[in-house]
Amino acid sequence: MTLRILWVVNVPLPEASVLMNEKPSPFGGWLIHASQMLAAQDGIRLSVAFPGNNMSGYQKIEGQNINYYCFAPVKDSEKKRIENDGILTNIVREVSPDLVHIYGTEMAHSLSMVNVCVHENIKTIISIQGLVSVIERHVFADLPLRAIFGATLRNLLKRDNVIGLKRLYAKRGKNEIEAIRNTEEVIGRTTWDKACVSQINPNVRYHFCNETLREEFYKHQWDINKCEEYSIFVSQSQNPIKGLHYVLEAMPLILAKFPDAKLYVAGKDITKQDTLTDKLIITYYGRYINQLIRKLKLEDQVVFTGLLSEEKMCERYLKSNVFVSASSIENSPNSLGEAMILGVPCVASHVGGVPDMLKHGEEGFVYQADAPYMMAYYVCELFEHRELALSFSRKARQRALRTHDPDGNARQLVDIYKRMLDIENWD
């Protein structure tokens, strides 16, 4: 028996990008490994649909083991298309899936696909990534009013300053709530997402399945003797939710005890204002971060790494003494999972599903999100106590290897599909 599965994701997988002569996206890398593991399962035929730029209908791309379908993006304002999407309907009819699996709820195409599956009488399941209807409540992240309401030219054009993000998440949250209410099955992995989903739809059937991480992170292990002493790594900075401003507020307290401490921030330099182009594209949050760095005299202690490939990102983790996840809200951040599976000692804010991932005092430190002074204290504890850092490293890695086991997660996912389709025997 062959089970036909259609995934709906937010970004193209690299194989599809290459086949379309496009540069692969640096985002959603964990989907690569997960899709490969699923496609390798006996009796599974996987197709993956995703939105693409400059697309008016859809395009089929045949990969080695996966067929891809690139479709015209669905806008939040396209109410008629969301209710009755002819493009997604045609994809579904061509693939003729036994089941449609939607990853994430934040984009309009998720609700559009849910509605298509209702019309076509096809079973649907949604994997919870984050929940924008809940995240929207945490967007301000203790920022001052000027950082919340301030706007640069780019912000005015794109409406993506902090208050603009809150409005966008609120708008998308309405679609998200409708999608979850119209779905009978969801996949989650934390107490937080289970609680939130059950409050949106009390009748939903919740399935537990952990996520598989990017392949490169299974190949390496952190070594305290090879890392840069007193270095701190933060994997994201562009979105205020990720809490870079919290880390900057903690840095003077860290530097008071460890003057050689340095902060590395993955991604492009959001503070850069060297050229006219830089000044045109900078966000107000980026400008605020720039001001905060200068105010706290951190110019020599903060390094933006630029965009990193999967391999370079892994290298940066391995070079770091401590990884910090300072978000104002998260479900189960893959960045924390990647740090744990490498064995990098972790300090993470107590938000969302993080407590389900990292046990405080045994596998790492978990602190109150709006208390950067506690973040500073715990970072210093790891800098000061080598044996504690090594103990956290070992135990967190053991935990993460179980949580993010590719084979186990693929088998669990297939078991969920079988239960949904009432398949008892797999021949």
pLDDT digits (tens, 9 = 90+) for 293-338: 999 999 999 999 999 999 999 999 999 999 999 999 999 999 999 9
Mean pLDDT computed over 246-254: 98
pLDDT band of residue 425 (cuts 50, 70, 90) is low
- Would you list the domain boundaries of the chain? 3-212+405-420, 216-403
Enter the tokens of residue 425: 């025997």
Nearest to 337 by CA among 227, 244, 232, 212: 212
Right CATH number for 216-403 from 3.40.50.2000, 3.40.50.300, 3.20.20.80, 3.90.1150.10?
A: 3.40.50.2000
Enter the tokens of residue 180: 């979850």
pLDDT band of residue 166 (cuts 50, 70, 90) is very high
Q: Whole-model pTM above 0.85?
A: yes
Nearest to 209 by CA among 62, 411, 385: 411
Instruction: Give residue 21's pLDDT.
Output: 84
- Percent above pLDDT 70 for the chain: 98
What is the residue type of 309? Answer: S
Secondary structure tally for the chain: helices H, strands E: 19, 14
Contacts of 77 (CB under 8 A, 6+ apart): none
- Which CATH architecture describes the domain 3-212+405-420? 3-Layer(aba) Sandwich (3.40)
Judge if 3-212+405-420 and 216-403 fold alike in CATH terms: yes
Quote the CA–CA distance of 411 and 242 in Å, as a whole number. Answer: 32
